């Protein structure tokens, strides 16, 4: 747990183009062309009980990552005339993620911690160089990345880690508040110290 | 983090400048950093020609022992341009080096009083071109080397932009009073004996040294050390990319009186022992003993260079920060395994630090500022300024999110808006809070530099860089 300070948030969303940044958050959008067999394999990968949940659990431990989403695109959504209908010759893997911190640190985390998961998701994409070493992997992601036309964060100074901490802290404060009316000042001082002791573990 | 043992790499020490892999601060008492400006490429190269053979390399010192002084040379991007290095070669250098430290000030937190507009004359303006660092055994040797350098600079029609003297303080302390410089990264093939506590932690409690390419360009780094295709990390175009490195030079003013008053007042307010509070802020006692291994009292004697002195990790021994607070300076700047995943989020963000204090110490018990300029000349070497130095400064010291500490800035450095920190209490003790203070430390000058290998330096002097 940290105590909020009145100072403005520092610059931490680094290493990407301006359109991908709003406050503390970075958006990453990557399209890659998928080989024929990826169309068959990827739908299973997305729901595979052994692979996906493990990646998911690790992703959840990396609390600076808001979410990561992989989808298989087989055709461009058609919104009616005058947009022409476009059928893709090859399926495409669409990756979208939001995170806090620097772009390089984010890709490093994927390379070093989700090494196998990266191969599972991108292994069927043309040109995928493996997640390690990170140099070629970063170059691959950069080459296939698109700058967001519009990226908006409702709480640009907040990070997911802070929000998770706040959600964990909220009921503890509410519980003390509910009891506080019936306490003497001395009892409140003790209870407050206990709350602080307990709340410092929120993370 | 691959652990398979790659082939051993032999570093060509005779081609690497000497102040990178060897801590001259331990060997020499005096240091002066001389920044030279070059108006005309030909005169600049002619001057460099005369220096090349006298630049100190990393080759082991002969039986006669260390020389009376050591000399090393580095260049800003403006300096390489001023010496006639063509744009197509310059474009192969890293973006952050080409931009320079002043351009990156907002990112680094150098704002307000620390902003480049308020830096000392000649810095962040493109005027500082070549940094000549002279380390000397004592004042006599230093004066002789400086006199020779000044004469040559004037003879070639060049200008001295700035001279910054620095010197060791008693007991290797910095001005706040802490022993400094213990946790240097262990480099494979150079300081393998320092791997325990200085390298990469491995499962089962062992350590290994870091790949040399993390600090010396042209060699495998942590990314490529096990690459079957034997690719090398990005580096400037040959011949500049071999045996060189990037250098960060920052003059950091320290407000020692403010730091002492703040810690004294906080100790009284929190009813804490002042010595322990100082240790909680830094993560080490004044003598350098780590809180993780010495949580309650400062040991009677501590030798930070002794075997095992830095052998500690955070996650299992002190995951909750009851010994060393989660926001302590050393836990932020070198988190070891504190970010989880067995250190895999931190092992690529290591730097070789070669800082040296400048200015006379404030008398031991003084609590009022005497107006004197004192602080630390922060110097570090790394193969990637953005990944290594800036990663530490921006993500770990200027912000606390990655550690679950919100937007707390490092308390010791603070920055324009001041640092703040929580000192975790061991239940049932509540934590205590150190409110934003400072800044204790203010950037007064700085440059990003490139330190070429000896062959590359000769190529720059010859004007044959590509």
* pLDDT at residue B2 in the model: 46
Query: Which residues, in sequence order, are CB contacts of A156 under 8 Å at separation 6+?
Result: A9, A22, A23, A24, A25
* pLDDT at residue A50 in the model: 63
pLDDT (tens digit, 9 = 90+) per residue, A143-167? Answer: 999 999 999 998 888 999 999 999 9
pLDDT (tens digit, 9 = 90+) per residue, B236-261? Answer: 999 999 999 999 999 999 999 999 99
Residue B290 has pLDDT above 90, yes or no: yes
pLDDT (tens digit, 9 = 90+) per residue, B162-178? Answer: 999 999 898 889 999 99
pLDDT band at A52 (very low <50, low <70, confident <90, very high): low
Q: Which of A5-14, B44-53, B157-166, B346-355 has the lowest mean pLDDT?
A: A5-14
Interface test with B, best of A10, A114, A163, A203 (most B CBs within 10 A): A10
What distance in Å separates the CA atoms of residue B441 and residue B414, rounded to the nearest whole number? Answer: 7
Q: Which A residues in the span 55-94 are in contact with B, Cβ-Cβ below 8 Å? A: 61, 63-64
Question: ipTM of this model?
Answer: 0.88
Mean pLDDT of chain B: 93
Q: Which of A81-90, B82-91, B193-202, B384-393 has the lowest mean pLDDT?
A: A81-90
* pLDDT at residue A7 in the model: 47
What distance in Å separates the CA atoms of residue B117 and residue B51, rounded to the nearest whole number? Answer: 33
3-state secondary structure at position A122: helix
DSSP state of B268: H
A9 in reach of chain B (CB within 8 A): yes
* pLDDT at residue A58 in the model: 84
Residues of A in contact with B398 (CB under 8 A): 10-12
What distance in Å separates the CA atoms of residue B101 and residue B118, rounded to the nearest whole number? Answer: 14
Residues of B in contact with A194 (CB under 8 A): 428, 430
Residue A6 has pLDDT above 80, yes or no: no
B431 neighbors A200 (Cβ within 8 angstroms): yes
Handedness of CA B407, B412, B414, B418 (dihedral sign): positive
B450 token code pair:
């490139």
A105 in reach of chain B (CB within 8 A): yes
Nearest chain B Cα to A4, which residue? B406
Residues of A in contact with B427 (CB under 8 A): 197-198
* pLDDT at residue B204 in the model: 85
Compare CB distances from B433 to A3, A162, A201 and report the shortest one's residue: A3
Q: How do strand B207-208 and strand B432-437 relate by DSSP bridges? A: unpaired
3-state secondary structure at position B403: helix
Residues of A in contact with B314 (CB under 8 A): none
Average pLDDT over residues A177-188: 96
Q: Which of A43-57, B422-436, B440-454 has the lowest mean pLDDT?
A: A43-57
pLDDT band at A203 (very low <50, low <70, confident <90, very high): low
Nearest chain A Cα to B423, which residue? A200
* pLDDT at residue B314 in the model: 96
Q: Would you list the domain boundaries of chain B?
A: 13-172+231-247+447-462, 192-209+255-444
Alpha helices in A16-147 (DSSP H): 36-47, 51-61, 103-113, 115-122, 134-144
pLDDT (tens digit, 9 = 90+) per residue, A98-147? Answer: 999 999 999 999 899 988 888 989 999 999 999 998 989 999 999 999 99
pLDDT (tens digit, 9 = 90+) per residue, B324-376? Answer: 999 999 999 999 999 999 899 999 999 999 999 999 999 999 999 999 999 99
Compare CB distances from B401 to A104, A161, A197 and report the shortest one's residue: A161
Helices H / strands E in chain A, number of each: 7, 4
A100 in reach of chain B (CB within 8 A): yes
Q: Which of B276, B273, B257, B173 is nearest to B438 (CA)?
A: B257
């Amino acid at each position: 747990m940290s105590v909020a300070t009145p100072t403005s948030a520092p610059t931490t969303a680094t290493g990407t183009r301006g359109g991908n940044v709003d406050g503390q958050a970075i958006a990453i959008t990557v399209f890659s062309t998928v080989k024929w067999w990826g169309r068959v394999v990827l739908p299973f990968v997305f729901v595979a009980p052994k692979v996906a949940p493990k990646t998911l659990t690790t992703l959840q431990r990396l609390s600076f990552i808001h979410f990561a989403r992989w989808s298989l695109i087989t055709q461009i959504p058609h919104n009616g005339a005058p947009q022409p209908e476009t059928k893709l010759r090859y399926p495409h893997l669409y990756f979208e993620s939001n995170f806090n911190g620097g772009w390089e640190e984010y890709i490093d985390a994927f390379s070093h911690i989700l090494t196998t998961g990266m191969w599972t998701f991108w292994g069927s994409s043309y040109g995928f160089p493996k997640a390690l070493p990170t140099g070629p992997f970063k170059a691959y992601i950069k080459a296939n990345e698109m700058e967001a036309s519009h990226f908006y964060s409702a709480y640009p100074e907040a990070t997911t880690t802070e929000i998770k901490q706040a959600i964990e802290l909220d009921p503890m404060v509410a519980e003390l508040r509910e009891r506080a009316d019936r306490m003497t000042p001395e009892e409140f001082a003790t209870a407050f110290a206990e709350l602080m002791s307990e709340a410092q573990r929120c993370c | 983090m691959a652990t398979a043992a790659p082939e051993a790499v032999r570093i060509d020490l005779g081609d690497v400048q000497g102040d990178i892999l060897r801590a001259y601060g331990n060997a020499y008492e005096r240091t002066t950093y001389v920044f030279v400006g070059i108006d005309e490429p030909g005169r600049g190269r002619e001057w460099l020609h005369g220096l090349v053979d006298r630049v100190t390399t990393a080759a082991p010192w002969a039986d006669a022992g260390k020389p009376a002084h050591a000399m090393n040379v580095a260049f800003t991007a403006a300096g390489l341009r001023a010496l006639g290095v063509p744009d197509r070669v310059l474009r192969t250098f890293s973006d952050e080096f080409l931009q320079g430290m002043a351009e990156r000030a907002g990112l680094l937190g150098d704002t307000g009083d620390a902003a480049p507009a308020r830096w000392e004359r000649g810095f962040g303006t493109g005027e500082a071109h070549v940094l000549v660092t002279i380390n000397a055994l004592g004042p006599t040797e230093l004066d002789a080397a400086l006199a020779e350098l000044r004469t040559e600079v004037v003879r070639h029609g060049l200008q001295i932009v700035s001279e910054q003297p620095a010197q060791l303080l008693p007991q290797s302390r910095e001005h706040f009073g802490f022993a400094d410089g213990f946790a240097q990264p262990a480099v494979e093939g150079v300081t393998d004996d320092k791997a325990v506590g200085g390298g990469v932690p491995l499962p089962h409690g062992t350590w290994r040294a870091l790949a040399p390419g993390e600090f010396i360009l042209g060699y495998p780094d942590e990314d490529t050390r096990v690459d079957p295709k034997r690719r090398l990390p990005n580096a400037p175009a040959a011949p500049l990319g071999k045996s060189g490195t990037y250098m960060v030079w920052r003059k950091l003013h320290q407000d020692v009186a403010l730091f002492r008053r703040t810690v004294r007042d906080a100790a009284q307010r929190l009813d804490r022992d002042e010595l322990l509070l100082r240790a909680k802020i830094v993560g080490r006692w004044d003598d350098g003993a780590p809180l993780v291994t010495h949580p309650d009292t400062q040991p009677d004697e501590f030798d930070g260079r002794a075997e095992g002195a830095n052998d500690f990790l955070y996650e299992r021994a002190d995951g909750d920060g009851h010994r060393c607070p989660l926001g302590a300076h050393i836990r932020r700047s070198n988190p070891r395994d504190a970010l989880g995943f067995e250190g895999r989020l931190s092992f690529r963000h290591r730097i070789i630090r070669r800082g040296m204090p400048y200015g006379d110490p404030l008398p031991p018990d003084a609590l009022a500022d005497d107006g004197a300029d004192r602080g630390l000349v922060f110097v570090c070497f790394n193969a990637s300024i953005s990944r290594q130095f800036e990663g530490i400064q921006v993500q770990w010291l200027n912000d606390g999110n990655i550690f679950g500490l919100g937007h707390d800035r490092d308390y010791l450095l603070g920055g324009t808006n001041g640092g703040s920190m929580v000192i975790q209490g061991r239940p049932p003790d509540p934590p205590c809070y150190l409110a934003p203070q400072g800044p204790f430390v203010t950037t007064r000058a700085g440059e990003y530099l490139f330190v070429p290998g000896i062959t590359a330096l000769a190529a720059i002097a010859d004007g044959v860089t590509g």
